[in-house]
Amino acid sequence: MLVINKPAGLPVHAGPGGGDNLENYFDALRFGLPRKPTLAHRLDRDTSGCLVLGRHPKALRKLGKLFAGGQIEKTYWAICKGAPEKPSGRISAALKKQTRGLGWQVDIVPDDTDGAQQAATTYRTIATNNGLSFVEAKPKTGRTHQIRVHLASIGAPILGDPIYGELTSDERRHPMMLHARRIIIPISKNKDPVCVEANPPEEMAVLTSQVSETT
């Protein structure tokens, strides 16, 4: 497998309209193998950080089982507007993808809603300062837009999120401040899990430092 630090703003694969995407660059990541690597999971276009690739079909199948079984631990960093009322906790709220005009978004819905997917995220607030908070989130399920929707639901929308939470137009113009900081993968039964950390993009690193400063 390979774990790369995905840049924000680049989709992992081509959408309906085509355009530049991460998969266009996988041929340069063969490193001697006949096949180019393949995505083992997904990150949103505007999310940066740890992204896992399988280098051959056997590895991809194994990684798929680990992701599906919830055996891979993912840790995200987020810079949020405001702060969660409780400094740490667990958000359990079912999600459903809904059509909105020409697009779509993910909504929190009652658990018994047709098509609802159960979703859970744990979080802790690392620091707060000047109306912002630095939050660490760990998704226990892998639903689309899960962390973004869950944090917005507790009054801490992610700065730069183009869809969710109560943000001003200026606050939405930021690059989205969500970063897949760490991933822990138990790839071998006889070895310690592989732990990989990715540094956040420069603008997020600056904001993280500012929020973490003591006043």
Residues with catalytic function:
44
Task: Answer whether 37's CB lies under 8 Å from 53's CB.
Answer: yes
Q: Where do we find the tokens 């280098």?
A: 55
Q: Where do we find the tokens 């703003």?
A: 9
- 3-class secondary structure, 99: strand
Quote the CA–CA distance of 98 and 170 in Å, as a whole number: 26
Quote the CA–CA distance of 77 and 136 in Å, as a whole number: 5
Structure tokens at 104: 């779509």
Quote the CA–CA distance of 201 and 204 in Å, as a whole number: 5
Q: What is the DSSP letter of 193?
A: P
DSSP annotation string for 133-152: EEEEEEESS--TTHHHHHHH
Pick from 128, 123, 122: which is nearest to 207 by CA? 128
Q: What angle do CA 112, 86, 42 make, to 5 degrees?
A: 55
